[in-house]
Structure formats: structure tokens, C-alpha cells
Amino acid sequence: MSQLELLPINVAGEWRLGGGDVYESLYPATGEPIARVKAASPADVEEAIARADHAFRTSGWAQMLPHVRAAVLHRVAALIRERGEELAQKQRLDNGKPINETRALVASAAATFQFFAAALETLEDAITPSRGAYVTMSVHEPMGVVAAITPWNSPIASEAQKLAPALAAGNAVVVKPAEVTPLMALELAKICEEAGVPKGIVSVLPGKGSVIGDAITKHPLVKRVSFTGGTTTGKHIAHIAADKMMPVSLELGGKSPTMVLEDADLDHAVNGVLYGIFSSSGESCIAGSRLFVARGIYDEFVTRVAEAAKNLRVGDPASERTQMGPLITAKHREGIERYVQLGVDEGGRIRTGGVRPQGAGFDKGYFYTPTILEGLTNSARITQEEIFGPVLVAMPFDTEEELIAQANDSVYALAAGVWSRDFKRAWKLGRAVQAGTVWVNTYKQFSVSTPFGGWRDSGLGREKGREGIFQYMEQKSMYWGTNEQPIPWANPVA
């Protein structure tokens, strides 16, 4: 074990070493340790949640006037921007994303806090139509202690996406970051503290999901869990939640189709397809990993995509020229390699990639080349199972009916892309495909003001959007009597 200083965790505002095992966080570009973490223990979970519940009830956070609480969230956004480069460099080390991408993620986190601060300040309850001698109102209250369990592929953006609306709603929040990427959640906790979030309202508990995530999810004081990650883990959380009668938000896996019609602008489509699958090294739930191309343009289009993929710059995440950095771990890369070999065994042909890059700078990191396979059907395992890496499977189609059937033939339904100059065709296809998000003539664009989530095995519930705050609140109906006389049922019989 190296001599790096041990990082403290945050137990309801107290910074201290966790009670769990010590582990190293590795830089994916070199495999070298960048931090040592003393993970949380089940006892830390118990203490953090009990103290969070106490802070929720006594700190005044939940009772603050909305514009006062919003001002704190605005300060969080300002501090993120103030420390933007420092945070971007730290996230680059945390998960190996290219620096230009981590800068964008930090900017996204700041914008998320800003948006939910503004949404909170203008949030309205409703007076509903009266149907008697009373005034009826629909109001919303914070839940109490809620949990945010976040993934390793976009830590600061994912954590902000859960933390900002949960705090805006007036809750206390326990964050469980991915074991391999603990740094950004800890930084966000420091920023929240400095911005004025009361002590105890935010906790960050790194550690194994099977230990710490489970303990958090099962705790009776936790009133909601928002999870982003794998479908198997999401279903496990859903089972626990069902036993507790607890609401959950689950943003899970994807096997997203991107569809190129014969009338598409091919320049735009080539770039969009490349960006959709190979940005973030394909480690994205919304990655456009199934490519359907009209048969008449299939050979030309796939050739163009394959040639462009060969020229993508894979390398050092610290370089502003890099387009694809390393994968998150050696184990994850090995899993992707097994999938590519499975695709070949199923009859697929590799058009490009399918190997580890060679040369100086690649020997120690977890790099893999952009990979395109063809010659497979939509029923092959490699086209049905989420790979979570830079692997694209290309397939031709003949009719739109066939295209829609194949695009929807998946247990996942998270995202999709349509490329066509014909507005009417694109609209029809976009409405027919089953997915939580459909991009037309673009891909992988996001707005915090627009709800996001999936269908089927891609998850439950929605994040983002003005309504995102209500995901972390309980709805309450209130009746104000206006009748002049007592309710007649209680009057004695004359």
C-alpha cells in the first residue's frame, strides 16, 4: 500500500476516517494510485443517517423560506465555478475522462445547482377547484433523509443531479459514490458546507455498494433512494424499496439504437454517431451502441464511420487534444474484450478497433480502441446486452416497419437517435421508438430543464426538469372549511 494520505469521509458533517477497509483509488490512464480511502462501515452508515435525521428535524433547513434555501444553492453553484479547473483536474484523475470532458461536467454540475435554486425560488403549490364548503390546496413537504447512490462514469454531474434537487426540497442527503470514484462527492460536500448547508444535512460515505449501498437502502429512516448504475443492482434496490414501501428513482442500463435514414445529412450523421458511442469511451448509459443504417447507404456510411473512428485521438486524458481516454479499470476492459470476442464468435466482423492501442503512454493504462462490428443480427448477445464501452454494432435495415421493430426489440429503452432530413419521417419514427429520450439530428445533448429517465429495464422515475424537486417531496392535500354551520351529520336529532 502506498504512503498517500488517507482521505476522510463525511459523516453528517464530521470529517473523519471511516470504519471500513482502506483501498486505493487508481488513475485509469496509468494504473497508479491517486488517493487512499478509509471506507465507511455499517456503523458509519447508522450514525450518519441518525444524525442526518436529527439535522433534518432541528437545523431549520427544511423550514427555510424557499428563497433563503435557494440562495445557499446559488452559492454552491458559484463555488463550483470558482474552483472549476481544480475540480475538472481532480475528476480527470478520478475516472480518466479527457480534461475537456471533465470541464464540461463541472460546468454542468454548477448549472444544475443554479437551475434547482431558481426552480425552488419560483416553485408553486396549487389551489385546486373546490367541490364543497372548503378551499382545497395541494402542497409539498420534504421527505427527511434521502439517499443518492451515484455511478463512476460522470461523478460530479451525477452527484449534482441528485444532490441539488434533494437539497432544494429541504431534505438531508446521504451520498454513496461509486467505490472507484470517491473524490468528487467529497469535494461537493466541502463546497456545500462552505456555502452554508447546515451541518448534518450532507453526508458522503464511500465504500462497496454491496455493503454501504445496501445498508443505506435498507435503513428505516431513509425515505427515498435515487440510484444510477447497473440494471441488476437497480432491481435489487427496487426489491428492498418494495418491502419498505419506499419510492425510488432508478436510472439504469441502455442499449440505445441510432437510426440513419437514406435522406440523412451524412456529414452530421457520421459525427453524431461517433460522438454518441465513442465519447466518454462508450462508458455511458445512453451510448448509441446499436447502429441501424438504410441498406442503400449502408456500405458508404459504415465505411465513413469506420475510417473516422480510426482517426479518433485515444490517449492522455490531460491533453486537450484527446478525444477518448482510458476505460475505468483493467477488469472492465477485460469484460469489453470478452464481449468483442463473443461478437466475433457469433459471426461478426471487426471493421475497426478491437485491440488495445500499442506504444508509449498506453502500457500501464486501461486503453481500448474505438471498435465497430458488423455482420450480426439484432438478436446477437452483443447487440442485446449492455457493454458499457466503445463498441458499436452496425446493421442494415430495409423498411421503417422493420427498423422500428428492431429498435424496440430490447429489454432497455433509455435513449435513441434518428437521422433524417424529412421532418415528418423523423417525427413518426421518434414517436414510434420506445425510449425515454429521442434525439433527432443530434445525439447526447442534455438540458437540466428537461426530464430524463428510461422505460423497462432502463429504470423508473425521472430526474431533472422543474418537476425534479417534487421527486424528493411528499404531496399533501389540505382542506380549509368555509361553511358557516357545523357539519350537519353531527347535529343531534330533534
Helices (H) and strands (E) in the chain, counts: 14, 23
Q: 319: exposed, middle or buried (C-beta count within 10 Å: 0-12, 13-18, 19+)?
A: middle
DSSP assignments along 2-15, one per residue: --PPEEPEEETTEE
CA 76, CA 69: separation in Å to the nearest integer?
11
Q: Cell digits for 387? A: 457493454
Q: Contact at 8 Å (CB) between 104 and 445?
A: no
Q: Contact at 8 Å (CB) between 196 and 72?
A: yes
CA 455, CA 437: separation in Å to the nearest integer?
10
Q: Which candidate in 285, 374, 386, 463 is catalytic?
A: 285
Helix intervals (H) in 279-422: 295-310, 330-345, 381-384, 400-407
DSSP assignments along 369-387, one per residue: --EEEES--TTSHHHHS--
| Nearest residue to 112 (alpha-carbon basis) of 85, 77, 144, 147 | 77
Task: Report the DSSP pairing between strands 257-260 and 202-204.
Answer: unpaired
Q: To the nearest 10°, the Cα dihedral for 183, 465, 250, 324?
A: -50
CB atoms within 10 A of CB 468: 27
Q: Which candidate in 101, 159, 179, 251 is catalytic?
A: 251
Question: Is 385 annotated in the active site?
Answer: no
- As a three-state string, the secondary structure of 383-408 is HHCCCCCCEEEEEEECCHHHHHHHHC
CA–CA distance from 275 to each of 289, 305, 462 (Å)?
11, 11, 24
Instruction: Indicate the DSSP class of residue 221.
Output: T
Question: Is 285 annotated in the active site?
Answer: yes
Active site residues: 251, 285
